[in-house]
Amino acid sequence: MKLERINILDLTKQELTDLVISLGMKKFYGKEIFIWLHKKIVRNFDDMTNISLKDRELLKEKTYIPFFNLLKHQTSKIDKTEKFLFELEDGGTIETVLLRHRDSNNKELRNTLCVSSQVGCPVKCSFCATGQDGYMRNLTVSEIINQVYTVERRLVKKGEEINNIVFMGMGEPLLNLSNLTKALSILSDENGINISKRKITISTSGVVSGIEKILLEKLPIELAISLHSAINEKRDKIIPINKNFPLEDLAAVLIEYQKQTKRRLTFEYILIDNFNISENDANALADFVHQFDHVVNLIPYNEVPNVEHKRPSEKKIEKFFNYLKNNRRVNATLRKEKGSDIDGACGQLRQKTKKGDN
């Protein structure tokens, strides 16, 4: 039965080598099989032509290569953003978004994949569609990397590839850190798809304990912090974990992070009408981010059904942006949302389509 076999995509290179040895195969098969699975991203053991027939049969008997069912695929008419709804082995569903943009220097097409880390999200931010849907579970290692592989296979056919990965899909990545770390080591392995960790961004609502672990393990990833307010009483209202990890604690760990890594920090700040866009809010934000080498991405709120928050008018958005830049010298950008016509923009991902109702 399938469930009794080992999910071979869950294994790191070392674990795969250990397995190969325990099955009585040649040790170097560990690396060879890793290359087939993670560089050539094959879906069948029979494609592994330099592995003996006998050993391929043994692998089939003891292990399996999981893959997703694609339940739904949408492409934005506005900007070619693609949204994928995948079905997991237990029937759960997750969404992954492919963002396409031109490089500002050489105008080359770049592909950024926005990956999910959990089914639903336990943080339950008041403004976020994923947070409204309830939390199911962490994604496994193979479920994280299969989002990348499924889309990569489609791109390779067109002579393209994934250039960047951002953990900005469903879920809070730093609450699934052990699977995330393993997935990162596989994705950035020189015998795998080999995406540099520096091209991988992890976005967090501010899980201080998780950032501490990233520091301890010296993970060379890019970090983005979903700030949305630099005033504790307000942040408490929209991001419940701010009560556990208030702004002072967040600032302290980020100061340490920057001291150790010398890496620029990205802060995301969604603009919510009548909530976080006053001059007072702008000053608090400026004071907070000036503690760091920073960039602030301002994101006009994407309205979510049954959620009271509203997107401000263009005029209010410009006013906030200009005040930050001109009066407070904040390194701010105003992010244009992609894929809004397919609900593929930030924070709009949710398990809208349950199995069988698409």
Q: Strand runs (DSSP E) across the chain, as ranges?
A: 6-7, 63-64, 69-75, 82-87, 93-102, 109-114, 118-119, 137-138, 164-167, 200-204, 222-226, 265-271, 294-300, 332-334
Establish if 139 lies at the interface with ligand SF4 (CB under 6 A). no
Q: How many helices (H) and strands (E) does the chain have?
A: 11, 14
Question: Which contiguous run of DSSP H or E holds residue 179?
Answer: helix 177-187
Distance of CA 307 to the CA centre of its chain: 23
DSSP state of 129: H
- 163-202 residues near ligand SF4, rule: CB under 6 A: 171-172
Distance of CA 286 to the CA centre of its chain: 26
**Cα separation of 225 and 322, whole Å?**
22
Out of ligand SAH, ligand SF4, none, what residue 257 binds, judged by CB under 5 to 8 A for its kind, is: none
- Pick the closest to residue 322 from 268, 271, 356, 275 (CA basis): 271
* Per-residue CA distances from 125 to 65, 118, 143, 267, 296 (Å): 35, 15, 24, 17, 20
From the candidates 95, 143, 222, 268, which is the catalytic residue? 95
- Is-catalytic flag, 190? no
- 338-357 residues near ligand SF4, rule: CB under 6 A: 347
- Is-catalytic flag, 121? no
Nearest distance from C-beta of residue 242 to ligand SF4, angstroms:
11
CB 71 within 8 A of CB 93: yes
Greatest Cα pair distance in the chain: 71
**Cα separation of 80 and 248, whole Å?**
40
Beta strands 294-300 and 118-119, pairing class: unpaired
Nearest distance from C-beta of residue 238 to ligand SAH, angstroms:
9
- 195-254 residues near ligand SF4, rule: CB under 6 A: 205, 226
CB 266 within 8 A of CB 223: yes
Using CB under 6 A, pick the residue from 9, 97, 115, 123 that binds ligand SF4: 123
Out of ligand SF4, ligand SAH, none, what residue 124 binds, judged by CB under 5 to 8 A for its kind, is: ligand SF4
Using CB under 6 A, pick the residue from 120, 210, 339, 347 that binds ligand SAH: 347
Nearest distance from C-beta of residue 175 to ligand SF4, angstroms:
8
Binding mask 102-141 for ligand SAH (x = CB under 6 A): -------------------------xx-------------
CB 13 within 8 A of CB 28: no
DSSP state of 73: E
Nearest distance from C-beta of residue 211 to ligand SAH, angstroms:
12
Residue nearest to ligand SF4 (CB): 131
Local structure of 316: helix, strand or coil: helix
Out of ligand SAH, ligand SF4, none, what residue 63 binds, judged by CB under 5 to 8 A for its kind, is: none
Residue nearest to ligand SAH (CB): 347
CB 139 within 8 A of CB 121: no
Out of ligand SAH, ligand SF4, none, what residue 346 binds, judged by CB under 5 to 8 A for its kind, is: ligand SAH
Q: Which stretch binds ligand SF4 (CB under 6 A): 40-48, 60-68, 120-128, 182-190?
A: 120-128
Q: Which of 48, 304 has the CB closer to ligand SF4?
A: 304
Q: Which of 41, 128 has the CB closer to ligand SF4?
A: 128
Establish if 309 lies at the interface with ligand SF4 (CB under 6 A). no
Establish if 147 lies at the interface with ligand SF4 (CB under 6 A). no
From the candidates 121, 125, 128, 346, which is the catalytic residue? 346
- 299-328 residues near ligand SAH, rule: CB under 6 A: 299, 301-302, 304
Q: In the numeric block, which tokens belong to residue 135?
A: 């939390």
Using CB under 6 A, pick the residue from 176, 201, 203, 266 that binds ligand SAH: 203
Known catalytic residues are: 95, 346
* Residues within the interface to ligand SAH (CB under 6 A): 127-128, 168, 172, 203-205, 226, 268, 270, 299, 301-302, 304, 346-348
